């Protein structure tokens, strides 16, 4: 199952809206074939492994797969049918399909056909691999994850004259890794204008550009030249999100001329994030990492508007206190917490409790 997880991660960020899945076939305890789901619409991991085997499995064959095999027709036929047709008699599964309409049904069909099923092997790791998919398939709205890089006392903005980056190179590289996973990233207009970010994934492998949202209620960024998000060769991946009541024809024309999309949302400021999330859902955007500054971060947390937190904490105190801490009036409570050391910094990742 560890090898199956490694295989699944080869498709990091490439399978949305589908999950990442890996599969390994063993005979007499030795791996003889493997596969993974490379992209939505392509062969599923189980089918890829069976094709890689290229022959009928031996009687001792065991299929290990990180996610419960599908049992309904989608863009590809059900994997349960392929498994039964192959003659494999033992299947080891990491996590169940989280879709309430499917959960456990694929395993039930295998068992009814006489296949021995072992489930729950490395379940937590297999489930965590697809936290974006799991949220989307159950709730039918995007997972909104807040990312901050802070000092020990919760400040996000360095003091005057201090280095611009609070965290070290390993933590910054890890942010790029998550940008490669998430279908979209977002910043506020304040962060856009102050930092001029690129918001691309520039870690190992070719540069990847997710959808780049600018949360700009009043379209203050219109007419601002020299910004990467409005001028680089990925600018067609930039979407400026504001209120329909605030957009002027001249601003809309400027964005269009720059090749930048706009979403003018109905309603007012109080319902802005909810309206944006609904629009993301309608566009099939399954998850967004919001790279928040102090104002946006605290507002999102106070409004209970985000589902997950990525907090990179540097072992230092002090920053610019005029901007205040990132966690607003009440620090969030995290569930299912994962802690990772990244050089001198620490990443705390977890689901925000309600």
For the annotated catalytic residues, the residue numbers are 46
Look at strands 143-150 and 184-188 and give their pairing: unpaired
CA–CA separation, 123 and 91 (whole Å): 14
CA dihedral sign, ordered 255, 256, 260, 265:
positive
Q: Give the CA radius of gyration of the chain.
A: 23
* Residue 94: partners with Cβ closer than 8 Å, 6 or more residues away: 1, 4, 5, 65, 66, 67, 119, 120, 121, 122, 123, 125, 126, 127
Beta-bridge partners for 4: none
Place of tokens 């990244």: 342
E strand segments, 253-294? 261-265, 287-291
* Residue 101: partners with Cβ closer than 8 Å, 6 or more residues away: none
If you ran DSSP here, which 8-state letter would residue 155 be given?
A: B
């Amino acid at each position: 199952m560890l090898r199956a997880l490694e295989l699944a991660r080869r498709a990091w960020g490439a399978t949305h809206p589908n999950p990442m899945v890996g599969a390994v076939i063993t005979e007499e305890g030795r791996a003889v074939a493997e596969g993974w789901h490379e992209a939505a619409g392509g062969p599923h991991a189980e089918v890829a492994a069976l094709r890689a085997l290229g022959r009928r499995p031996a009687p001792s064959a065991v299929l290990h797969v990180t996610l419960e095999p599908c049992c309904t027709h989608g863009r590809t036929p059900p994997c349960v049918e392929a498994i039964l047709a192959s003659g494999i008699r033992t299947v080891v599964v990491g996590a169940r399909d989280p879709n309430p309409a499917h959960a456990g049904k694929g395993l039930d069909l295998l068992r009814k056909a006489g296949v021995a099923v072992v489930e729950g092997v490395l379940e937590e790791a297999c489930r965590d691999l697809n936290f974006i998919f799991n949220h989307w398939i159950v709730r039918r709205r995007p997972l909104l994850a807040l990312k901050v890089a802070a000092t020990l006392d919760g400040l996000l903005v360095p003091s005057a004259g201090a280095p611009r980056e609070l965290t070290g190179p390993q933590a910054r590289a890890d942010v790029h890794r998550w940008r490669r996973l998430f279908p979209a990233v977002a910043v506020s207009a304040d962060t856009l204008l102050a930092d001029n970010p690129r918001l691309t994934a520039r870690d190992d492998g070719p540069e990847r550009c997710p959808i780049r949202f600018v949360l700009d209620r009043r379209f203050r960024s219109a007419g601002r030249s020299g910004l990467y998000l409005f001028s680089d060769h990925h600018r067609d991946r930039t979407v400026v999100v504001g209120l329909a009541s605030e957009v002027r024809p001249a601003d809309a024309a400027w964005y269009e001329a720059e090749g930048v999309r706009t979403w003018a949302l109905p309603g007012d400021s109080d319902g802005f994030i909810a309206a944006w999330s609904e629009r993301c859902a309608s566009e099939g955007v399954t998850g967004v990492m919001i790279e928040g500054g102090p104002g946006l971060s605290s507002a999102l947390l106070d409004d209970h508007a985000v589902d997950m937190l990525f907090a990179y904490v540097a072992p230092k105190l002090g920053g610019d206190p005029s901007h205040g801490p990132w966690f607003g009036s009440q620090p969030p409570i995290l569930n299912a917490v994962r802690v990772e050391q990244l050089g001198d910094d620490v990443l705390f990742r977890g689901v925000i409790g309600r």
